[in-house]
Amino acid sequence: MIVALIIACEVGFWVLLALGLAARYLLKWRRTSVVLLLCEPVLELVLFIATAIDLKNGAEPGWEHGVAALYIGYTVAFGHYTIRWLDGHAAHRLGGAPPPRKPPRYGRARARHEARLWLRAVYGAAVALGLLQLAVWYVGDSGDISSLRAFQWVAIRTVGIYGLIALGYWIWPKKAPADAEDPPRLTTDKERARS
């Protein structure tokens, strides 16, 4: 049941996102789009409650409960970021807005970008670890909590690996190609008038 609910929440996330962006940019229903996008956190709440009920009804804690906690942690940390990113692209493609800024590709700016994403991963892991610890306390000595503990280590290892990748951008910053170092300079009206 939990695996099907995780899949339904993931599908629901993308369906609500598509409906929200379509309502905003195709139908010009801004309030409706806000309501649809605000329904996104309800999906995680439903998954959390269903997982708690499943454990309360005596289900043996398994990998699906761990995956549910990791999924909730990921969507809490990266959900708004993903929505904002897609909103910028939808505004450009459907609403006539300028193209969204791309993340930096080189140097310390890229390292700062990766560090910010790593902090999001830390936040998501903290949420997942908290939910898993609540489940461990909830189950107590009456059940096998080894799978829940295993997923706590999965969250910690994921943050560690992501941290090493982000640190790599600080230690070995990617250098811009020679032709990309000087971005094209915009000429002002005064400079055009002089030439």
Q: Above pLDDT 70, what percent of the chain?
A: 92
Residue of 88, 94, 85, 79 whose CA lies nearest to 45: 79
Residue given tokens 């897609």 in the structure block: 86
Contact criterion met (CB below 8 Å) for 65 and 47: no
Burial of 20: CB neighbours in 10 Å, binned 0-12, 13-18, 19+: buried
Regions of the chain with pLDDT less than 50:
181-187, 191-192, 195
pTM of the predicted model, to two decimals?
Answer: 0.81
